Amino acid sequence: MGEPDRHFSFRGRPRSARDGETLLSALSPDRLPLLRRSIQYHRPQGPFCGIGHCAGCLVRVNGRPNVRACRYEPTEGDSVTTENAWPSPTWDLLGAIGLLSPGGVDTLHGLRRPAWATRFYQRLVRRLAGTGAPPTEAAARALAAPALERSVETVVVGAGGPGRAVAAALAAAGVHPIVLERDLHSPSVGGAELMRATTAVFLPPPSDTGERRFTLLAFREPAVGVRIDARSVVVATGGYDASLLFGGNDRPGVLTADAALSLAAPPRRPPFRRAVVVGGGHRAAELLERCGDAVEAVVAPGEVRPEVVRAATDLGIPLYPRSLLLRADGRKHVRSVRLRARGSGTETSIACDAVVLAHRRVPHSQLFFQAGAAMEWRPSVGAYFPMVSANGATTIPGLFAAGTTAGVPPPELARHAETVADAVVRGAGSTEPVRPRPADGPPTELLGYYRELLHLPGHGRWVACPCADVLLSEVEEAVRSGYRGIEVVKRRSSLGTGICQGRYCLPDALLVLSILEERPPPEVGYITQRPPVVPTPLAALASLPTPPVGAELP
Amino acid sequence: MTFARDSYRTVIVGAGIVGLFTAYHLARSGGGPVLVVDRGFLSSGASGRNGGGVRQQWETRGTVRLARESVEAYRRFGREFGFNIWFRQSGYLFLAENETELARLKTVHTLVASEGLASKVLDSAGVARFVDGIAPGAVVGGTYLESDGTLYPFPAIWGVYEAARSLGVEVALGVEALGVEVQNARVAGVLTSKGPVATPTVVNAAGGWSGDFSRRSGLEVPNVATRHEILATESMKPFLDPMVVRVADGLYFSQSMRGEIIGGVTLPHRPGTSRGQGSSPAFLIAMARALVGLLPRLGAVGVLRAWSGFYDDTPDGFPVIGEDPRLPGFVHGNGFGGHGFMLAPATSRRIAHAALGQPTDLDPALFSPNRFRGPAPAATAERLQLG
């Protein structure tokens, strides 16, 4: 990154970005910007995930709505505006909706009387709903690009450490894979064709007629359609930092460790000075190492690991183990957090300008679900993983898992990658029957954590699903009304139907439902992982050739 | 114990909109006790997977009348059931790409108008006023009926479910009906995955699985399940009011209350329920091409999710309603061809009548289970099986 060399306008004012810098980074010189309001109640909502999934940084660029500022690098002359606030996200008159209805609007039973007013309600609600205005035709034309089609032996999804290691081992054995990587600037992988800025969005089960082959749909930013036909697929999509339920959990200034670490990539300074880090494990340690001078305190739902204690002590940062995070205060940006010590019940406030969530990492398992691989609930993480044998083979022949998604601990990653590559090359399936592993430790500490939180007053107004503005009280109401299971509660409350498709709300919702329904999380079920994995431009899909009519379709 | 009682006056197979509405009408007219069984969770079948369209433009008078009655029922729904289903009457717009299709739509228009509905024929400029940004030359014209509309299916399901339950109807979810028990050549009970239950009357309202259930009960029926896929895009500010349907390829889409474009297009999938309710790359591509071809600016909109559900198709496109003459006590309420939600309020009253052994006012030549037997195929057919 060099001198500012890309000039664009943001809400009509001139701004600039360095080469290779994302729009979000350019708009966050020292703290996270307020770019949008939540979809229903128009609460201030901040950039949260930093990896292109949440709704927190959606903006309109050159007439194209819902562009993720964290994945878009401005080009000279871009016109960037905000979307769903009037007149601006900072001063949004529509915020009155949230102020007038602090307990939420009951759209399920309400707004239907008197009958003559329903047309008026419908028009009003429709105008208030919706994120950006529809795209301009010019914006759609600018996206038109020829599709990429490939037919290969093996495709590797993800060019993080494990994906790279598998690709390198494959290349050494003479199989040159295609590697898909979502990151915009991933370094190349020797012996493999790397497709950067490319997200795999749909991996259906392999064809069951003739030779079993996979069809993988993907798209390269901004809207290049990609279709890869492959005999085997290695999924190494890694994990992401999960969300947490507390008051104000999508306020600007609350962000995941993924977002904090990517925004703090050298030579950038992190977009905070006094952050409260949530979590007491590896990820918290990483944050202290990378931006410890901008950390105010470390708060952990459970115990704190020795390396975090050491790092915090060296930096003189106070630790708050076994603490409930009650809320983040501050109207338009986080100014402090309120904690309650588990057990004693002592409450503390800490002044801060950010809350960084680093307490739990869960795998990106969507492609395994789509492909029909058998999945298993891992209690210690509180998430679903594909069932795999020692060589990474799943229950779907030809589909392998590597790295975090295979549940491999970091020290064994390199050796595991070799084993996976060997199995792929030999066309081997699982070396042993793929069967559920024994419980991998005690259930996640968050179960007990949420059990305590759900007894505290006021939690009903917390936001269970920021994308669709679903309150925790609506989830509780669904369960009280006799609706059970995540699939039903999802339909009843709209939880998980917003732009991140449940990626951030589901991991916590499963635990909460397990407590409310008084049964283990796996019995609460899981939401069908519907394609695409991330919102995919229609232009990208439309650029791909239609399969012949009458062909047997899966 | 799985069920509250050993025997019921009526057992309904399928807790979709048709089964629940039928249970509701039965309970209201003293036809209980009623048990509804469903293999999945509430709204796991087509009733929870459709695009929410409700229209009265059909090719046959019999269907138009049932549809008109259903629209009136959905208008009253909020008052009657206490749930807001967001029934928005902003029209169905049928598109014709050529004069032949337009002539067909004009025939529909004449029929619909003769039933007192304010249908309109539009030229291409008229269509463009409803569909902002339509590709030039994409259509020659179309028809429009403003009192058609869209609703939000889930609250409709919950509304009828809760109303039926408050009238004493028992709903057992996660229970699969495996067939019927026959004694003295009539229905004596239903075999389920949780054991048998006695009843003199079973109503087959199993949607896409109704053909399977009839056949498992020893009744040869022509019902075929066909998988239809659907997708939803990211949400946008409102710019499209009507449900848009293209005759040529079955493309349909509307913009929901939340601002998403929701719609599908017909693809030649292998019939049957065995492949589940999944999605295919072919659909995503075909649908994207159809949408972008008609409304180019949608190219810059993201697809959020895709899913599918089963149509329960019959050879002539009419539903099957009434007691099966081959097996007394076996009542059909199926074969809706993807239009169960549209027609449920009106048809379920007739299905309830049939279950009580009362005559219905339906034309047996169009709706009776008996019509597929005998040498001559039915003369009329309902082919406007779109959107």
* CATH for the stretch A268-359: 3.50.50.60
- Chain B contact for A519 (CB, 8 A cutoff): no
Chain A hits for B304, CB-CB cut-off 8 Å, are 499, 501, 532, 535
Pairing of strands A239-241, A224-235: unpaired
The model's confidence at residue A49, banded by pLDDT at 50, 70 and 90, is very high
The per-residue pLDDT for range A61-90, each reduced to its tens digit, is 999 999 999 999 999 999 999 998 889 999
Cβ–Cβ below 8 Å for A542 and B289: yes
- B284 vs A546: CB contact, 8 Å cut-off? no
B42 contacts on A by Cβ (under 8 Å): 483, 488, 491
Say yes or no to pLDDT of A177 above 60: yes
- A:B CB pairs within 8 Å: 201
Q: Is the pLDDT at A551 greater than 50, yes or no? A: no
Span A443-452, mean pLDDT? 93
CB contact under 8 A, B78 and A552: no
pLDDT of A130 reads 80
Q: Is B235 helix (H, G, I), strand (E, B) or coil?
A: strand
Please compute the mean of the pLDDT values over residues A499-510 and round it to a whole number: 96
Residue A190, min C-alpha distance to chain B (Å): 30
**CATH of span B89-148+224-311:** 3.30.9.10
Residue A63: its chain B contacts at CB < 8 A?
Answer: 300
Give the least confident one: A108-117, B193-202, B224-233, B299-308: A108-117
Is 50 exceeded by the pLDDT of residue A552?
no
**A363 — contact with chain B (CB < 8 Å)?**
no
Q: Is the CB of A546 inside 8 Å of chain B's CB atoms?
A: yes
**Does the distance separating the beta carbons of B299 and A108 come in below 8 Å?**
no
Question: Do A553 and B284 make contact, defined as CB atoms within 8 angstroms?
Answer: no
CA–CA separation, B334 and B332 (whole Å): 6
* Contacting residues of A for B285, CB less than 8 Å apart: 541-542, 544-547
Closest by Cβ to A535, choosing from B285, B287, B302 = B302
Amino acid occupying residue B341: F
CB B251 within 8 A of CB B205: no
Q: What is the pLDDT of residue A351?
A: 98
3-class SS string, A327-379: EEECCCCCCEEEEEECCCCCEEEEECCEEEECCCEEECCHHHHHHCCCEEEEC
pLDDT bracket for residue A57 (50, 70, 90): very high
Using CB atoms, which residue from B235, B275, B303 is nearest to A536?
B303
Interface test with A, best of B166, B233, B235 (most A CBs within 10 A): B235
Question: Can you give the pLDDT at residue B272?
Answer: 87
Task: Give the residue among A98, A87, A81 at the shortest CA–CA distance from A39.
Answer: A98
Q: Which of B82, B258, B285 sits opposite A546 (nearest CB)?
A: B285
Q: In which band, very low, low, confident or very high, does the pLDDT at A554 lie, cut at 50, 70 and 90?
A: very low
For chain A positions 470-489, those within 8 Å of chain B (CB to CB) are: 483, 485, 487-488
Percent of chain A with pLDDT over 70: 96
Give the minimum alpha-carbon distance from B83 to chain A in angstroms, rounded to a whole number.
5
Give the ipTM: 0.95
CB of A531 within 8 Å of any CB in chain B?
A: yes
pLDDT class of B254 with cuts at 50, 70, 90 = very high
Q: Where in chain A is the domain with CATH 3.50.50.60?
A: 148-240+364-425, 268-359
Residues in chain B closer than 8 A to A223 (CB atoms): 299-300
pLDDT of A549 over the 70 cut: no
Q: What is the sign, positive or negative, of the torsion defined by CA atoms of A498, A504, A505, A509? A: positive
In whole numbers, what is the pLDDT of chain A averaged over residues?
92
Residue B44 to residue A217, Cβ atoms within 8 A: no
A254: β partners = A355
Measured distance CA(A12)–CA(A26) in Å, rounded: 15
Q: Where in chain A is the domain with CATH 3.10.20.440?
A: 4-141
Mean pLDDT for all residues in chain B: 95
Distance of CA B273 to the CA centre of its chain: 17
Q: Domain A148-240+364-425: which CATH class?
A: alpha beta
Shortest distance, CA B364 to any CA of chain A (angstroms): 35
Calculate the alpha carbon distances from A511 to A12, A455, B376 in Å.
44, 15, 60
- Across the interface, of B285, B297, B302, the residue whose CB is closest to A66 is B302
Residue in A122, A223, A538 closest to B291 by CB: A538
Could you say which of A110, A227, A542 has the minimum Cβ distance to residue B288? A542
Q: Among partner residues A107, A133, A483, which is closest to B84 by beta-carbon distance? A: A107
Query: A residues 187-226 near B, CB within 8 Å?
Result: 202, 204, 215, 217, 223
Average pLDDT over residues A315-330: 97
Q: Has residue A325 got a pLDDT over 90?
A: yes
Residue A320 has pLDDT above 70, yes or no: yes
What value does the mean pLDDT take over residues A120-147?
91
Q: Identify the residue among B249, B292, B308 best suited for mutation to test binding to A, counting A beta carbons within 10 A and taking the highest.
A: B292
**Mutation to test the B interface, candidates A131, A541, A544, A546, most B Cβ within 10 Å:** A541
The reply to whether residue B154 touches residue A491, judged by beta carbons under 8 angstroms, is: yes
Q: What are the sequence ranges of the domains in chain B? A: 1-88+149-223+314-387, 89-148+224-311
In sequence order, what DSSP letters do the residues of B256-320 get, joined into one string? -TTSEEEEE----PPPSSTT-S---HHHHHHHHHHHHHHSGGGGGSEEEEEEEEEEEE-TTS--E
pLDDT score of A430 more than 70: no
Return phi, psi of residue B173, to 5°. Answer: -95, 150
pLDDT class of A172 with cuts at 50, 70, 90: very high
Packed helices A306-315 and A282-291: angle between N→C axes, nearest 10 degrees:
20
Q: What is the mean pLDDT of residues A344-349?
A: 95
**A354 forms bridges with which residues in the sheet?**
A275
The predicted model gives A246-269 an average pLDDT of 94
pLDDT band at A97 (very low <50, low <70, confident <90, very high): confident
% pLDDT > 90, chain A: 79
Contact B268, A549 (CB under 8 A): yes
CB contact under 8 A, B296 and A141: yes
A445-519 adopts what CATH topology? Answer: Arc Repressor Mutant, subunit A (1.10.10)
As a whole number, mean pLDDT of residues A455-482 equals 94
A204 contacts in B (CB within 8 Å)? 278-281
Asked if the C-beta of A139 comes within 8 angstroms of chain B's C-beta atoms, the answer is yes
Q: What is the pLDDT of residue B375?
A: 67
Which chain A residues have a beta carbon less than 8 Å from that of B268?
A: 549-550, 553
Q: What pLDDT is attached to residue A115?
A: 79
Q: Looking at residue A550, what is its pLDDT? A: 44
Q: Start-end ranges of CATH 1.10.10.1100 in chain A?
A: 445-519
Distance from CA of A85 to the nearest CA of B (A): 12
Q: How confident is the model at residue A8 (pLDDT cuts 50, 70, 90)?
A: very high
**Region B186-197 average pLDDT:** 97
Distance from CA of B240 to the nearest CA of A (A): 10
Residue B379, pLDDT score: 66
pLDDT tier at B3 (50, 70, 90 boundaries)? very high
What does the pLDDT read at residue B383? 84
What integer pLDDT is reported at residue A546 of this predicted model? 80
Is B1-88+149-223+314-387 a domain of CATH 3.30.565.10?
Answer: no
Cβ-Cβ contacts under 8 Å, A542 against chain B: 285, 288-289, 291-293, 299
One-letter identity of residue B324: D
Cβ <8 Å between B284 and A552? no
Q: What is the largest CA-CA distance in chain A?
A: 72
A538 touches chain B (CB under 8 A): yes
Helix (H, G, I), strand (E, B) or coil at B255: strand
CATH number of A4-141: 3.10.20.440
Q: Per-residue pLDDT for A394 more than 70?
A: yes
d(CA A215, CA A63): 32
pLDDT, position B277: 86
Preferred mutation among A123, A538, A546 to probe B, highest tally of B CBs within 10 A: A538
The confidence score (pLDDT) of residue A37 equals 93
In the structure, what pLDDT confidence band is assigned to residue A117 with cuts at 50, 70 and 90?
confident
Test A112 with B282 for CB contact under 8 angstroms: no
Q: Give CA separation, A359 vs A256, A441, B144, in Å.
A: 9, 17, 55
Find the residue in A nearest to B300 (Cα).
A140
Q: Which residues of B touch A136 (CB under 8 A)?
A: 297, 300
Is the pLDDT confidence value at A144 over 90?
Answer: yes
Distance from CA of B338 to the nearest CA of A (A): 20
CA nearest neighbour of B182 among B329, B352, B347, B306: B329
Where is average pLDDT lowest: A434-443, A456-465, A504-513, B137-146? A434-443
Q: Is A66 on the interface with B (CB under 8 A)?
A: yes
Residues 106-135 of A with CB under 8 A from B: 107-113, 115, 118, 122, 125-127, 129-135
Integer-rounded Cα radius of gyration of chain A: 23
pLDDT at A101: 78
